[in-house]
Amino acid sequence: MSNTEKNNPTVEEEEEDDEGEVFLGESDVIQEFDVDGEDLPEADDDDDNDDEEFDENDDSIHTFTGHKGELYAMACSPTDPTLVATGGGDDKAFLWKIGNGDWAAELLGHKDSVSSLAFSYDGQLLASGGLDGVVQIFDASSGILKCVLDGPGGGIEWVKWHPRGHIVLAGSEDCSMWMWNADKEAYLNMFSGHNQSVTCGDFTPDGKLICTGSDDASLIVWNPKTCESIHVVKGHPYHTEGLICLDINSNSSLVISGSKDGSVHIVNIVTGKVVSSLTSHTESVECVKFSPSSATIPLAATGGMDKKLVIWDLQHSTPRFICDHAEGVTCVAWLGTTKYLATGSADGTVSVWDSLLGNCVHTFHGHQDAVQGISVSANTEFIVSVSVDNTARVYETSEFLNKTA
C-alpha cells in the first residue's frame, strides 16, 4: 500500500479501520488511565510487540534451551570449537554442539545445582561440580559418565584440571579443597587451611603449584604433592573481605584476585608478597583475568558490580581504561590471544572491547536476564554465554573481528 493510500483510506476501509481502532484505541482512552501501568504495557506491548523486539534484538546464532532453570556454569571445549557444556539450577548439565540443534547429551547424576564445569586440557574429559558436594567425570565425546568423585562435606564451588594431566581439583563450601586422579578414579589429597568456603582456585599454568582464595579473605599457595601451604596471604595490605575470583598469569609468577570489598591485589607466587594493589572499583569485583601471554603490553581486566570493566596497565599499576556498563559486570574472557575481551553483564548483554583502545567494538543482545558466565570457543569464532533466563546463547565474532583485524 502506498503512503497516499495509507493517509487517505476509502470510506469502507475507514469504517473497518475505525472499528479496529475504536476497539483498541479511542474507546479505550478513558480506560488507559486505569490500566496503562498494569495491563497495557504487559498484555499489549509485551505480548504483541515484545516478541518481535526480542527477535530483532537477538544477535545469537544458536540458543540452547534444554535447561528448565537458571544457568550457572559453562565451558567450551579446548579442542572442539563447537562443543559446549552448560549446567544450572535444574540439577542438570548438558553437552551440546553449536550449530547442531539435533544433538545434546544430558549429563545425569547431580542431586543439586550444577555449579561448575571444566574440560580437561586435551578435551577428552568433562568435570561437573554440584552443590550436592559431588564431582562427576564424563567422557566429553559421548556424555557417558565415567566416575563419581566424592568426599567434600559441602557444595562444590569450582572445578579445575591440571594443565597437562587428568588430575582434577575442586574447592568446597566446607573450607576444604580436594584432588583426584580421574583416570584411576582415585582420591589423591585433601587440602585444609582455609576457615571458610574455598571460593576460587586453580593450578598454576606450569602445573607445579595451586592457588586458592576463600571467603575468609585469604589466599593460599599450595604444594600439590605434599598438601602443605607454602604461603598464606592475609591481612593488610591484602583483601579485607572474602575473595570472589582469581587468575594466574601465563608464566606462573603472579596471581590476581578480586574481593567483595571492591579491591584487586596481585601477589607474587614465589615470595607470597602483595606486589600491587589496584584501586578503582567501588563494589564487589566479580571477575579478573590477565591478558594472554602474547600481549605486547602486560594488562589485566577486572569487572565489578559498580558497572565497570577496568583494563589495567600492570607496568604502572594504573587503570588504562575504565569501560562503563549499564549494569554490573559479572564475567570476563579474552578472545584467545587477540587484543579483544568479552564481558557479560547483569543487564543481559555481552560486549566486546578492544583492550588497546578501550572502546566497545560490539554489543550482543539476546538474553532477557543477567549473564552468569561466558566462554570463548577454541577457534575464537564464538562467544557462548549462560544466563539466569534459563538459556545459553552463541554469538559469532567474525563480523567484528574481521572488520577490526
Q: Is the confidence at residue 52, as pLDDT, over 80?
A: no
What pLDDT is attached to residue 125?
98
User: To the nearest whole percent, how much of the chain has pLDDT over 90?
Assistant: 82
Average pLDDT over residues 223-235: 97
What pLDDT is attached to residue 14?
43
Which residues lie across from 71 on neighbouring strands? Answer: 88
Q: Tell me the C-alpha distance between 350 and 391, whole Å.
A: 14
- Give the model's confidence band at 27: pLDDT under 50 very low, under 70 low, under 90 confident, else very high: very low
Q: Is the confidence at residue 245, as pLDDT, over 60?
A: yes
Average pLDDT over residues 148-154: 93
What pLDDT is attached to residue 403?
60
Q: Which three cell numbers stand for residue 231?
A: 604461603
What pLDDT is attached to residue 39?
41
What pLDDT is attached to residue 297?
85
Q: Is the confidence at residue 46, as pLDDT, over 60?
A: no
Among 191, 320, 283, 299, which Cα is nearest to 247's? 299
Pairing label, strands 186-192, 350-354: unpaired
What pLDDT is attached to residue 55?
54
What pLDDT is attached to residue 294?
76
- Please report where in the chains the cell 571445549 appears, as a residue: 77
- Give the model's confidence band at 56: pLDDT under 50 very low, under 70 low, under 90 confident, else very high: low
68-124 residue pLDDT tens: 999 999 999 999 999 999 999 999 999 999 999 889 999 999 999 999 999 999 999
In angstroms, the first-to-last Cα distance of the chain is 44
Q: Is the dihedral angle over the CA atoms 241, 307, 286, 347 positive or is it negative?
A: positive
Residue type, 200: C
Average pLDDT over residues 365-379: 97
181-203 residue pLDDT tens: 999 999 999 999 999 999 999 99
